[in-house]
Structure 1
Amino acid sequence: MSTMNNAVNGLLNTMEKSKSTPWVRGLIQLLALSQSIQLTGWPANYKIQDGERFDFIVVGAGSAGAIVAARLSEVTHWKVLLIEAGGDPPPASVIPSMFATLAHTPYDWDYRAQLDKGTGQAHPNGVLFMARGKMLGGSSSSNYEIYSRGVPADYNEWNQIAPGWDWHTALHYFKKLEGMTDPSVLNDPRNAHLHSANGPVLISRPEPNAYFQEKNEIFLDALEQIGFKRVLENNGPDIFGASRPHFTFANGRRSSTAEAYLRGKNDRLNLRVAKFARAIKILIDPNTNDAYGVRVLLKSGNKINVYANNEVIVSAGSIDSPKLLMLSGIGPKEELQSLGIEVLSDLPVGKNLHDHAISGLTFAGQPGLETALQNVITIAELDSYPVPIQAGFFSLNTSEVNSDNIKPQFQIFNTHMGATAAPILVYGCKTVTNFDAQYCLSAANPNLYREIDMTQVVLLHPKSRGQVKLQSTNPLDDLIIEPGYFRDEDDVITFAEGVKFMTNIARTSYFKKVGGFIAQLDVAGCKGLKWGTDRYWRCYVKNAATSLLHPVGTCAMGPQGVVDERLRVHGISNLRVIDASVMPKITSGNTNAPTMMIGERSSDLIKEDYFGFEFATAQYNDVFSNI
């Protein structure tokens, strides 16, 4: 291996003088990445035995669960078992630019969600694909790596429902997890105090190549022309505005929770990680309602019981955490009884499901095959983001910009593609987001000979709610997932206004100069409506929306929810839920970072419950030597 590394290093040094050439830079990155993923250092697969005992059992090694297990194992006399249904992340997860290849693979739970009749008609049979990570790190190992924390008002609103989750507290834990590497942020006094460079999750914003930078500037300028403020970052003091986003990767590797909290921890003997092990029931004493263990289905097909001296912690995500609770007798009484499940605690498990729906616009830009240069340059971005991307937040209902009580209505992402990428776009449109052929072809058609900008508008705070329900008592059967999009008509009206506002991009200077236009997409259910009218846009968002894959809320915290403010399940002792399902309301932006924050915060809550606040505080002060 050392001989091979020496050869690779020699070739890298030889090519260094020519690194500005795209194909050379791409080869450099490919060779460097081949070294970075050779020795992964993932935790060994622990072969659990029937009847084994641990102090804590954590179900799910995802965005929160991996953090909880790692943090609890800092207490050296606590024996912690982390159960994960998947295995190690593959190279396509580790390499930052390869995220789009993970859907419909063994590393994806590959769920299906059913939209309501008359909604989502651009999706065959009204079905949404809901990718969820099935590996160490969960969806933090498979998502699109955007780092977005939300705004203070999100957490101050949580705090009214579940005290202890205010913005000041949340910021403390964001800084605990965050390893910011962006010098433009760290060197700006207005922003630096909101960040930390010392946490385990590495956050970056690499300098783009010259071509990507040009395309970034063109679209950011267009956003300014329609009223967006250009800001340094979207995780800083400015609630509204546009910038290039931050990412959860650095140094050629995705910074998932598997990477940040589990990799290289094989010397921590009190932390055991059981891979390819699926929790199918929480063991609860029906006489006392005390949780005392977990039933696990092993890869071999054998079922075993493992026992917890202290607590069982469910961190299986917004789909599988409610499923496990309901299979164990915790959930809506009538639903469980209809399946013959003994009800131990009648709680609204699976209710309050909400998500970020997105609706896209395609702006055709400069014509000419020379714009296809981007498709060649992309190979040089293996260790970074594969396309130019910009992000921002806006509202249509307020002039206030810096209040702790203000939340944006919309988030936008824009990605740029050079001409001739249409076949790839059609493939991704159909196989990743499950749009029908007519929609996908109409979206990709302008890209045959023109560059395009694909702008996704996100409805950040929907009023509509869906649910997840058991379809049987078989733990291997998928849940019934009802996203519930647009059950509240106000969401249709608000979303349409946001999308309509973003069409102003087509009237900005660059798009006028190159003869740009908005592609008129072929949306089932909207034929016969005049394009551009209010009726059209309302039909458009209702039928052409898809999911940003941010399901939350199915085990919501609060007195009327499933867990209390310390994430303990109401009516059941020794059982907590710690993941995105506990969010009472969705945050203003991508949900991975808030979920990681929940993992950090709840780990300290557990330590406080056993040792007191001083112990948890002392551990925080020494945290960076532990992880």
Structure 2
Amino acid sequence: MVAPLAHVCAAGGSTVANAVSAALHFFAVAQCMMREPWPEQPKIMNESHFDIIVVGGGSAGSLIASRLAELGDVTVLLVEAGPDPPSESMVPAYKDILKSGPYTWNFTSSTDGNSSKALEGGVQHQPRSRMLGGRGSANEMVYTRGFPHDFHTWADIAGPTWDWNAVLPYFKKTQRLTDTTILKNPVLMAYHSVEGEMTVSGSKQTTKDVDTFLNAFNELGFPIVDDMTYPGRFGAGRFLHTIRDGRRDSTATAFISRAGFENRGKLFVLRNSVVTQILIDSNKTAYGVKVSREDESFIYYADFEVVLSAGVFNTPKLLMLSGIGPRNHLEEMGIDVVHEVPVGESLHDQAMVLIFLTADVDLCTLPKAEQHIEMIKYMYNQSGAFSSSDSMGLYMSTDKNSDVTAPDFAIYPVCTPKNFGFRNGCRSIINFQKHICDKLGAINEEKELLSFAVVKLNPVSKGNVKLASNDPKDNPSIYSGTFSDPRDYEGYPEAMRTVYSLVNTTVMKQIGARVVDYDLPDCNGLKVEDDNYFKCIAQNVGTSAWRAGGSVSMGAVLTPRLKVEGMQKLRVADASAMPATVRGNVEAPVIMIAERAFDYINEDMKAASYDFMVYARA
């Protein structure tokens, strides 16, 4: 991985990073000219009618709105709180620069006094994007689906239509696989498709750091797998990514930008507009939304349905602001109760414990001249180091039963180049205490940092999402629930020892790898051989892996068809609908949920013999 030098194309203009010489100016300008053809901001009269209003233009909302517009007669309003993604979001190597700042909601968790003790104030950062494409415009672009066992659990809660065999076609529907290794393997190809809109690609290049990590894990006895999404075998391997021709691919680029202009007369993509309330009549039927834009208030009507795809934190917030949620909490916030349902009460997330190694030999640091060459290569034809993202990981099981079919832990290694300025991201993204960031930052000034995120994939802890106030401008109150159930510490000692064991492998000894001691006061005096040592580290540095779901889950709030139980014309399609965790990143499962939501909406329109109305829009 190559550290981004700076923003090459600034949002709203063309600037060249200070670190890049004037000779690169031409290439920077050329890159700026390659911006996505986002639709123009529509001019919509107050109290306009649409067939369907989709709230949230993230990974789910962009897909649903575009698919609905493709039906022909359906008029769709897609309301997104943020702007179009900036140009730098399209560069895979720049993935980390948008995890904080103006393109995010800047969500944080509430301190629980028990976990995340080594984080400043015990507060976890929860990066969620505020722009078209949502997290798909700022994540690592890793494509994973979870394992069949995850969806068997979903089916136990939400019904058989969410079992693995039922959801697999929806994963495949969106996918356009280009990985040559998998394309040549008929066993693996049974789980993939080449006909969808979103590109799912493999790595086109090997790198010293990824090769070293793979060899080290293999030396520890973990098999190397060709496809990390294959449900029949797990181990260490390179991930697939949603990268198309060296540029980020997302539902925003695949469905909104590249959809062409033939559906633009039916699809209205309204950006920089915040939905503050769902309009609901006395029969508990949603009929529109209230929107705030440029300090003005607008009302838009949905004649068939309102679809919430605002995300795991904003969807429950909007429901509760609209009077849908737990009675006691709504009354405490001074909100009239429209419908009592346990919104926000089933939040689940995966915990991440970071372990840092350093070494005497560089794995990923490039001399400045080579960095400039890599930038020129990317500007010229979107190739080279800037065209890729974090590439590999390990799935492992701490259960020694021979019939284990799914991992319970993942380990994700990342090489941070020497003198990368790690201290800044340590505070703004991870939120470690100052003394920890100072220590890690000082090491990074002289050496590379090899970080290993150890993630428990099947936690039992639960959290919740509540309103901080009844003001729509306030972010919700998030209790992540990390390690609230002590059973989630189980397995961490073995998984963390796996990382510690890497320094004893041949390939890691060759580079002089060693573990960086956090020097945590709570853990001083505990021996490395003791399980309590690793549990202590987990309790102190453990934080969210940013894979939250379930805040408006099926089986508790939603029907299996994603409708709010007891309400009419109101549906939810995003990570908040997940009834249980999936073992991996949530991006692909969210897109799968969106594909299902579209089918359900389409089926309901046909069953109702809905008469589409055409209204003046401008």
Q: How many Å apart are 1:385 and its aligned residue?
A: 5.4
Alignment of 1:169-568 (within 5 A): 169-208=166-205, 212=207, 214-264=208-258, 265-268=260-263, 269-285=265-281, 287-299=282-294, 301-367=295-361, 372-373=365-366, 377=370, 380=374, 383=382, 384=386, 389-400=391-402, 406-418=405-417, 420-421=418-419, 424-523=421-520, 525-558=522-555, 561-568=556-563
TM-score normalised over the length of structure 2:
0.88
Alignment of 1:566-577 (within 5 A): 566-577=561-572
Could you list the per-position Cα deviations for residues 81-140 of structure 1 after superposition, in whole angstroms to 9, with x for gaps in the alignment? 100111110012112111111133221111111231032111111111211111110111
Of stretches 512-521 and 110-119 in structure 1, the one that deviates more from structure 2 is 512-521
Give the aligned length. 578
Residue 63 (structure 2) pairs with residue 67 (structure 1): yes
Of stretches 356-365 and 147-156 in structure 1, the one that deviates more from structure 2 is 356-365
Structure-2 change in CA distance of 1:237 and 1:33 (3 Å): farther
Q: Which residue of 2 aligns with 1:14?
A: none
Alignment of 1:104-143 (within 5 A): 104-143=100-139
Tell me which of 48, 73, 80 is aligned to 1:77.
73
Structure-2 change in CA distance of 1:562 and 1:445 (3 Å): same
- Output the CA distance in 2 between the equivalents of 1:366 and 1:399: 39
Does the 8 Å contact 1:465/1:487 carry over to 2?
yes
Aligned AA for 1:396? T
- Output the CA distance in 1 between the equivalents of 2:112 and 2:353: 17
Q: Which residue of 1 aligns with 2:598?
A: 603
- Output the CA distance in 1 between the equivalents of 2:25 and 2:371: 11
Structure-2 change in CA distance of 1:274 and 1:229 (3 Å): same
Taking only aligned residues, the RMSD between alpha carbons, in angstroms, comes to: 2.5
SS in 2 for 1:306: strand
Could you list the per-position Cα deviations for residues 57-85 of structure 1 after superposition, in whole angstroms to 9, with x for gaps in the alignment? 00000011111111111211111110011
- Output the CA distance in 1 between the equivalents of 2:390 and 2:316: 37
Aligned AA for 1:138? G
Aligned AA for 1:413? Y
Q: How many Å apart are 1:36 and its aligned residue?
A: 7.3
Could you list the per-position Cα deviations for residues 567-617 of structure 1 after superposition, in whole angstroms to 9, with x for gaps in the alignment? 00011100001100000101000001100111011101111222269x9xx
Q: Which residue of 2 aligns with 1:8?
A: none
Aligned AA for 1:51? E
Q: Which runs of 5+ in 2 are unaligned?
A: 1-19, 611-618
Aligned AA for 1:335? H
- Output the CA distance in 2 between the equivalents of 1:472 and 1:219: 47
Does the 8 Å contact 1:442/1:519 carry over to 2?
no
Q: How many Å apart are 1:550 and its aligned residue?
A: 1.3
Tell me which of 127, 150, 155 is aligned to 1:154.
150
SS in 2 for 1:373: coil
- Output the CA distance in 1 between the equivalents of 2:50 and 2:232: 45
Q: How many Å apart are 1:261 and its aligned residue?
A: 0.7
Does the 8 Å contact 1:121/1:523 carry over to 2?
no
- Output the CA distance in 2 between the equivalents of 1:108 and 1:371: 28
Aligned AA for 2:580? K
Q: Which residue of 2 aligns with 1:4?
A: none
Does the 8 Å contact 2:136/2:250 carry over to 1?
yes
Structure-2 change in CA distance of 1:315 and 1:388 (3 Å): closer
Q: Which residue of 2 aligns with 1:624?
A: none
SS in 1 for 2:461: coil
Does the 8 Å contact 1:55/1:311 carry over to 2?
yes
Does the 8 Å contact 1:355/1:547 carry over to 2?
yes
Segments ≥4 residues shifted beyond 6 Å: 27-30
Could you list the per-position Cα deviations for residues 293-325 of structure 1 after superposition, in whole angstroms to 9, with x for gaps in the alignment? 1011112x1111111110000000000000000
Q: Which residue of 2 aligns with 1:623?
A: none
- Output the CA distance in 1 between the equivalents of 2:26 and 2:231: 37
Residue 594 (structure 2) pairs with residue 592 (structure 1): no
Structure-2 change in CA distance of 1:237 and 1:485 (3 Å): closer
- Output the CA distance in 1 between the equivalents of 2:557 and 2:371: 45
Aligned AA for 2:409? F
- Output the CA distance in 2 between the equivalents of 1:253 and 1:515: 35
Aligned AA for 2:366? L
Of stretches 440-449 and 60-69 in structure 1, the one that deviates more from structure 2 is 440-449
Does the 8 Å contact 2:91/2:387 carry over to 1?
no
Q: Which runs of 5+ in 1 are unaligned?
A: 1-22, 616-627
Of stretches 171-180 and 318-327 in structure 1, the one that deviates more from structure 2 is 171-180
TM-score normalised over the length of structure 1:
0.87
